[in-house]
Structure 1
Amino acid sequence: MPPTPTPTPTPTPTPTLPRPELDRYFPPLMPPERPEATTALDDHVRLFVKTHELAPTPRQQAVLCHTIVSGAGYARIYPTADQATLDLAADVLVWFTAFDDLHVEHATSGTFDELSLRLFSFLDILNGTATEPTDGFAAGLADILRRDCLAPAHQAELRMALHSLLVAWLWETQLQTTGTWPSLTAYLTARPHLSASWLERTLAEPLGALEMPRSARRDKDYLRLKTATCNLISWCNDLYSYAKEERQAGGVPVSLPGLLMRHHGCDLAEAFTRACAMCHQEAELAVGLIGRMGESSVPQLRAYARNAAVTLSALAFWHLTIAEDRYALAGTTHPAPTAPPS
């Protein structure tokens, strides 16, 4: 009698992992479309990418398609923003995404030195000490910083946010090229910069034509709301993109679920549950801050709070609609990973 063939194992679908329920706190809504502004923004960003050769191949250009769509969302979230400021904000986002996706995320021990030199060249541009841009990304950054559509205070805030991004990129690539896991605290500190959410919330002020008084910039509620909004953008991205990142990494990726697994010694399902609880706590805090700032005697703080509410509603809409298809988290089949080694 011939031996009974061994059946081919099939992957067992993991239970649907929990996700944050932002719609409990913010109605999942996007502001009305603005076709003319969106078309102008798309055309401008595509020209910016082509001029500075940020994505020289068709495959690399395809990587940026979603970013251009996301950048066009600025036209809806900031209906009163002028076209020059919309163009600048979208260019910053696409510049960030192109360099992060095409270079930072693919850093190796063999490319670390070259990548570090490129980041230092960006610092020279920010500091005004560069002579000539060394490549298309340097030229693109110089182009962004030469524009005169931002008030001096907004220009200074943008430069500081970009400085923070470069520090975070250098930190991330050092971990990546040495296979080092950061602490949970260090990751949570760096993540808003690495996700571009700090850049986005910094650009919210010029997009909303908000010139904050100096005292308002030190307001505790304003600072905490900016952080809470950035955290929600970053943490939700980590949860919805987990399956995609896991496939690309071939194991547990260095993101919020993996850090929680490592920190608490738990499995993936518990890590997701903990991360969702963090998101809900941060969303509840944001709701309270928005309400309190909405009653402020400072009109800029009231306007900033209104914009944060619109942004978080758009975030809830994104994750209930577009992100579901983009990341395809529900129904993903993969072995349930255990905590990465300490």
Structure 2
Amino acid sequence: MRQGTEFTVPPTYAPIPPAIHPRHAAVDAQTAAWAETFAIGSEELRGRLVRHDIGTFSARILPAGHEEVVALLSDFVLWLFGVDDGFCEEGALGRRPGDLTAALHRLLRVAQNPEAPMLLDDPLARGLRDLRRRVARYGTAGQTAAWVAALREYFFSVVWEASHRTAGTVPSLNDYTLMRLYDGATTVVFPLLEMGHGYELGAHERDRPDVRAAAEMASFVITWDNDLFSHHKESRGAGYYLNVLRVLQHEYAITLDQALALAIGQRDRVLCAFLRLWDSLLDDASPQLRQYLQSLASFIRGSQDWGITSLRYTTPEDPASLPTHFTDSPSDTSPDPLDIPAISWWWDLLPAGPPRTVHHPAPGRAPFAHGTTTA
């Protein structure tokens, strides 16, 4: 795990094939222009964000999606980094939970009612108004409402993190796991997975416990991977940082190397469970649910590919030791639930009996997939 004093992330389990939208370069350029148009973040922060290949990230999440929604997702992810980096991690509000709550609620009001005469000269608010109008253009009223509701969840979790940053405390593993499902901003992307393919998943399928579990499993793997790949960047900073490796060290009084091995085992066990649940859900899934499940898989793999290649995490000025490839073998294949109460219920929904051969999610398996290229 370490070479000398360097923190090295080993190759992680990647059973899902890679894919990327053929217009990824154009989307990346468009997002850089969008960031300048709305002056997202400070000039210095904006200059960093537009070099992080966020358009490529979006293109990996929606490799066969409508280009307009791929671009919308890319702009939205950059906007989220503007909030997370500018407001929370690097800004003064990140240590003032009360003031941060007020600021985020004002932004939430803009998302709820973009016509409200509030924050008219605020760059983040103007960018959010544009995003909200595009969400309404490409999504249904229900999807727009779901997007706003997920944004509220994300804001709520960001304030929770700010409270720990202010106090300099480390949460329990259970609390961290629960809040990471939201403060990683994965749930606020989920409505765009549907919009990207021009369908609306019915509530009778989206709200099923097993479908919710699959989405939460995807969030867990994505955010655990993000914590692995971002640890070098975050731990080099002068300020407070919150990361699963730090949480595991605090929870179990273990070394960083031990925490790294444990975190990889946790994400591998959840990913194996996701694959089993994914496969069983396909048995009676509608075409819309099939596409949604495929998009969750693409989100997982896209986050892996982007995480080890983006300048955001490779930090060439102080190079991070990240993997250059992945592995076909999980480090933990136990069928038992993780000892984390907030998520242990996922394993109750797995199909009975021994695991059958899982057909790993591939771009061509979903009936709505089209125009996908691998990379």
After TM superposition, the structure 1 = structure 2 runs for residues 226-245 of structure 1, keeping only pairs within 5 Å, are: 226-245=215-234
- Partner Cα distance (1:43, 1:20) in 2: 30
Distance 1:114 1:130, change over 3 A: farther
- Partner Cα distance (1:211, 1:109) in 2: 37
C-alpha root-mean-square deviation of aligned residues, in Å?
Answer: 2.8
| Greater C-alpha Rg | 1
Give the conservation status (yes or no) of the 8 Å contact 2:7–2:232: no
Measure how far apart 1:56 and its partner are.
4.1
- Partner Cα distance (1:254, 1:140) in 2: 27
Distance 1:111 1:313, change over 3 A: closer
Query: 2:117 aligns to what SS in structure 1?
Result: coil
Q: Deviations over 1:79-118 (max 9, x none)?
A: 5433332232222111101121122102447962543332
Query: 1:47 aligns to what SS in structure 2?
Result: helix
Distance 1:83 1:231, change over 3 A: same
Q: Quote the residue 2:327 is aligned against.
A: none
- Partner Cα distance (2:81, 2:189) in 1: 12
Give 2:130's match in structure 1, choosing from 119, 138, 143.
143
Give 2:167's match in structure 1, choosing from 178, 191, 209.
178
After TM superposition, the structure 1 = structure 2 runs for residues 274-313 of structure 1, keeping only pairs within 5 Å, are: 274-313=262-301
Q: Quote the residue 2:56 is aligned against.
A: 72
Give the conservation status (yes or no) of the 8 Å contact 1:109–1:178: no
Q: Structure 1: any 5+ residue segments left out of the alignment? A: 1-11, 332-342
- Partner Cα distance (2:305, 2:56) in 1: 15
Residue type matched to 1:137 in 2? L
- Partner Cα distance (2:141, 2:228) in 1: 37
Q: Quote the residue 1:116 is aligned against.
A: 101
Measure how far apart 1:279 and its partner are.
0.6
Distance 1:111 1:272, change over 3 A: closer
Distance 1:189 1:119, change over 3 A: same
1:60 paired to 2:45: yes
Q: Structure 2: any 5+ residue segments left out of the alignment? A: 324-375
Q: Quote the residue 1:334 is aligned against.
A: none
TM-score by length of 2: 0.74
168-177 or 77-86: which moved more? Answer: 77-86
Distance 1:38 1:294, change over 3 A: same
After TM superposition, the structure 1 = structure 2 runs for residues 188-337 of structure 1, keeping only pairs within 5 Å, are: 188-249=177-238, 253-319=241-307, 325-326=314-315, 328-329=320-321
Query: 2:193 aligns to what SS in structure 1?
Result: helix
Aligned residues: 313
Q: Quote the residue 1:103 is aligned against.
A: 87
70-79 or 296-305: which moved more? Answer: 70-79
Give 2:76's match in structure 1, choosing from 79, 84, 92.
92
Identity value in percent: 24
Query: 1:225 aligns to what SS in structure 2?
Result: helix
- Partner Cα distance (2:27, 2:220) in 1: 27
Give the conservation status (yes or no) of the 8 Å contact 2:19–2:63: no
Q: Deviations over 1:254-280 (max 9, x none)?
A: 210111111111111111111111011
Query: 1:182 aligns to what SS in structure 2?
Result: coil
- Partner Cα distance (1:141, 1:109) in 2: 19
Q: Quote the residue 1:82 is aligned against.
A: 66
Distance 1:47 1:218, change over 3 A: same
Measure how far apart 1:42 and its partner are.
3.1
Give the conservation status (yes or no) of the 8 Å contact 1:238–1:257: yes
1:26 paired to 2:16: yes
- Partner Cα distance (2:310, 2:76) in 1: 22
- Partner Cα distance (1:157, 1:110) in 2: 26
- Partner Cα distance (2:162, 2:100) in 1: 9
Residue type matched to 2:199 in 1? L
- Partner Cα distance (2:80, 2:116) in 1: 20
